[in-house]
Amino acid sequence: MTEVAKAEPQGSQAQGAPHAHYEPDQLPARKVLIAAGGVFAGIAVAVGVVSGLFAIFGWLHPIAPAEPIQRLEQPTVGPDLQTTRNGERAAIEARALAELARYHWADNTHAYAQVPIDRAMEILAEQGWPDGEATP
């Protein structure tokens, strides 16, 4: 016996393995084939069960042929998308800039007013940010 085998306690070695704590180098081919066969057999049984259920219950809800109106292509319903890149974008940006550059009441009770963005930044720079005040 080698020195490693002498250092291990008696009975620690498995039958046929050089050292009990090592894994075998090869897998037994028979066990691998049995496991693979079991997997394929399970898949075949599942397919058979599903096809049997379709055969049994398929007559309950037969699929009717489509009516002529159902075969026509249905128009899509959705938002109007941009058709030209520059023309519509310029109009949208012009409306947004006009909204930011005008005075108007922000509510129906005339308690809050909207001022142009440039004037609002000037007021904020002069007075500072209001701390602790509730905003609507």
Query: How far apart, in Å, do the first and last CA atoms of the chain sit?
Result: 89
Structural domains counted in the chain: 1
pLDDT at 49 over 90: yes
Instruction: Say if 124 falls within a structural domain.
Output: yes
Residue type, 11: G
User: Whole-model pTM above 0.85?
Assistant: no
pLDDT at 22 over 60: yes
Instruction: Say if 123 falls within a structural domain.
Output: yes
What is the per-residue burial (b if ≥16 Cβ within 10 Å, else e) of 7-27? eeeeeeeeeeeeeeeeeeeee
Instruction: Give the bridge partners for 104, in sequence order.
Output: 114
Show the tokens assigned to 77. 């319903």
Per-residue pLDDT tens over the stretch 24-48: 778 888 999 999 999 999 999 999 9
Per-residue pLDDT tens over the stretch 59-74: 666 677 767 666 667 6
Instruction: Say if 39 falls within a structural domain.
Output: no
Instruction: Say if 119 falls within a structural domain.
Output: yes
Show the tokens assigned to 34. 């049995």
Domain that residue 109 falls in = 103-128
